[in-house]
Amino acid sequence: MAVPATRADVQRLVGERAQLVEVLPAAEYADEHLPGAINIPLQELAEAAPSRLDPSRPVIVYCYDHQ
Amino acid sequence: MSPRAASRLETLGYGSVYDYVAGKADWGSAGLPLEGENGSTTRAAAHARTDVPTCRLDESLQTVQRRVSDAGWETCFVVDAGGVVIGRLGRRALGSDDDLAVAVAMTEAPSTVRPSARLRDLVERMRRQNLSSLPVTTSDGRLVGLLLRETAEEAVQRLQQLRR
C-alpha cells in the first residue's frame, strides 16, 4: 500500500531523487505544478509509466487536494 | 485521484510509491513555489511586501507606534513567537494617544489570504470590498507579507501585457 506523504516528506524525498508525478489532466498541469514534477494523467498512467518512471527510484504522486 | 494513481503504480510493480494526498493546494498554501502558466508569479506571495512591521502582544503601543512610523508604515501585524498572526494594528490604533497595551488596541484575527491565491481574484476582491491591502498568511497562519492593492493592480496589468 502506498505511503501517505506530507509536504515535508515530499521535500525530503525529492532531494533523494524521488520522481514527482502530477496525475491531473495536462491542462491543469500546464496551469500550475510543483517544481520538477512531470505530468502523467491518471488515464494514461498504465501505458506511460514503464517508459517514463524508473522503478528503482521512489515515486510520489499528487493531484490538487484530498478529492 | 492520487490514491488511485498510487494504487495503480503498485499494481504495475513500483515498489516505493508515496501519495501526497494534500497535493498542490497544500503546497501553494504553504507559500512554496509553483511552476506553470499560472505559477508563483501570478500569486499573492510573489507580490506581498515582506517588510511589513510586526510586533508582539506584550509590547506597549507607544513603542510600536514609533517603530512603525520610523519604518514608514501605517499598519503592523501582531504575531506570536512562531510568526502566527494574532491581530493587526491599523491607522486608528497607531494614531492613538492612549498608552494602551498592543493586546487591547489591536483588531483581533484579521481576514487573510493564502500565498497561492490568484492575484487577479484578489484585485477583484479588494476593489469589490474597497480594501487597500490584504494580509497573506500560510495555511498554518504564519505571516508572509502584506499585499497592497496598488502593487497587485500593477502586477496584474503587467502580467496581462506579457501574455498579449
pLDDT tens, position by position, B79-117: 999 999 999 999 999 998 888 899 999 999 899 999 999
* Angle ∠(B79,B83,B86) on CA atoms, nearest 5: 30
**CB-CB contact of A58 with B18 (8 Å):** yes
Q: State the pLDDT at residue A19.
A: 98
Portion of chain B with pLDDT greater than 70, in percent: 100
pLDDT tens, position by position, B129-162: 999 999 999 999 999 999 999 999 999 999 888 8
Nearest to A63 among B23, B32, B38 (CB): B23
Element (H, E) at B87: strand B85-89
CA–CA gap between residue B21 and residue B24 (Å, rounded) = 9
SS3 B105: helix
Q: State the pLDDT at residue A2.
A: 84
Mutant choice from B27, B29, B43 vs A, greatest count of A C-beta within 10 A = B27
Q: State the pLDDT at residue A7.
A: 96
The DSSP result for B126-146, as a single string, is: HHHTT-SEEEEE-TT-BEEEE
**CB-CB contact of A25 with B48 (8 Å):** no
ipTM score: 0.96
Smallest CA–CA distance, residue B135 to chain A, in Å, is 23
Give B108's Cβ-side CA count (13 Å radius). 2
**CB-CB contact of B80 with B138 (8 Å):** no
CA–CA gap between residue B14 and residue B54 (Å, rounded) = 48
CA–CA gap between residue B82 and residue A8 (Å, rounded) = 18
Mean pLDDT of A20-38: 96
Is the overall model pTM greater than 0.90, yes or no? no
Portion of chain A with pLDDT greater than 90, in percent: 93
